[in-house]
Amino acid sequence: MRSYGESQRVFRKKYNTAAAAKERETAWENIAAWVNACNPAGEKRTWQQLKMKYKNIVQTANRKKADARKTGGGPAPPPLTEAEALALSQNIGRPVAEGIPGGSSSSESTPQDTSAFIKCNRPIDIFF
């Protein structure tokens, strides 16, 4: 997680070009080299495995965070692990999709009804 944080400027670039993709891949390869160096006797991980593990940690943390907002009693959700808390803190300011307030909707939305749209906490550049 710390190594990802150090390479975060590469992952936050807005460009989706071949050069940017190669730069992100190189960053993941560097993270894999660092992780494998920390565990010389253990199993070696590929950069693809570490990238998937990072995405899984973020997804689990977001799921736990959403479960904590639910109401209805019952036991409290499990707390975030140190890795999950760090992953969430590293993703502050990134786009977040929010669900429809109050549950799901099966009816068509009207132009005046904006509750059916996804909200984003920062502007998104769209290129055609």
The domain locations on the chain are 2-90
Q: Looking at residue 104, what DSSP letter applies?
A: -
Question: For the segment 5-22, what is each residue's pLDDT rounded down to a tens digit?
Answer: 777 788 877 778 888 889
* Alpha helix (H) residue ranges in the chain: 2-6, 8-11, 18-38, 47-69, 82-90
| Cβ-contact 55, 84 below 8 angstroms | no
- pLDDT classification of 128: cutoffs 50, 70, 90: very low
Phi-psi sector, 111: left (phi>0), alpha (psi -120 to 50), beta:
alpha
Q: How far is CA 73 from CA 15, 67, 68, 70, 104, in A?
A: 45, 12, 11, 9, 21
The larger pLDDT score, comparing residue 113 to residue 63, is at: 63
Q: Is the pLDDT of residue 109 over 70?
A: no
Q: State pLDDT tens for residues 16-44.
A: 888 888 998 999 999 899 888 888 788 88
